[in-house]
Amino acid sequence: MRDVVLNILLDNLGHFVSGEDISRQLGITRAAVWKYIKLLQSQGYPIESSTKKGYCLRQVPDILDDALLLRGLDTSVLGRKMEIHSSIGSTNARAKELALNGAPEGTVVIADEQVQGRGRLGRSWISPPGKGIWMSVVLRPRLFPQQASRITIMTAVAVANALKRSAQIEVGIKWPNDIVCGGKKLCGILNEVHAEPQVIHYAVVGIGLNVNFSQEDLPDSIKDLATSLKIEKDKEFCRVDIIRAILQEMEKSYLQRLNNDRFTELLKEYEAHSVILGKRVRVIGIGSELSGYAEGFGEDGSLILRLDDGRLETILAGDVSIRGESSYV
Question: Which residues in this chain contact its own copies in the complex, by CB under 8 A?
Answer: 96, 100, 120-121, 142, 144-146, 148-149, 151-152, 176, 190-199, 201, 286, 300-301, 316-318
- Judge whether 303 and 297 are in contact, CB under 8 Å: yes
Cα–Cα distance between 109 and 50 in angstroms, integer?
A: 37
Q: Of the two residues 199 and 272, which places its CB atom closer to its own copies in the complex?
A: 199
Least separation in angstroms between residue 253's CB and its own copies is 16
Whole-number Cα distances in Å, 56 to 13, 32, 119, 121:
7, 17, 41, 47
Least separation in angstroms between residue 258's CB and its own copies is 14
Least separation in angstroms between residue 107's CB and its own copies is 18
> C-alpha angle 81/86/87, rounded to 5°?
110
Cα–Cα distance between 33 and 70 in angstroms, integer?
A: 22
Q: Of the two residues 44 and 298, which places its CB atom closer to its own copies in the complex?
A: 298
Check residue 236 and give left, alpha or beta (phi > 0: left; psi -120 to 50: alpha).
beta
Least separation in angstroms between residue 149's CB and its own copies is 4
SS3 content of the chain, % helix, strand, coil (to 5): 35, 30, 35
Least separation in angstroms between residue 286's CB and its own copies is 8
**Alpha-carbon Rg of the chain, whole angstroms?**
22
Cα–Cα distance between 193 and 159 in angstroms, integer?
A: 19
Least separation in angstroms between residue 156's CB and its own copies is 12
Q: Of the two residues 219 and 287, which places its CB atom closer to its own copies in the complex?
A: 287
Q: Of the two residues 151 and 281, which places its CB atom closer to its own copies in the complex?
A: 151
Least separation in angstroms between residue 103's CB and its own copies is 16
**DSSP-assigned letter for residue 122:** G
Cα–Cα distance between 92 and 85 in angstroms, integer?
A: 13
Q: Of the two residues 1 and 316, which places its CB atom closer to its own copies in the complex?
A: 316
Q: Of the two residues 183 and 318, which places its CB atom closer to its own copies in the complex?
A: 318
Across the chain, the runs of DSSP E, i.e. the strands, are: 47-50, 54-57, 82-85, 108-111, 132-139, 172-174, 178-181, 184-196, 199-210, 280-285, 288-297, 303-307, 312-315, 319-322
Q: Of the two residues 12 and 146, which places its CB atom closer to its own copies in the complex?
A: 146
Least separation in angstroms between residue 42's CB and its own copies is 37
Q: Of the two residues 39 and 290, which places its CB atom closer to its own copies in the complex?
A: 290
Alpha-carbon dihedral sign for residues 50, 56, 62, 68: positive
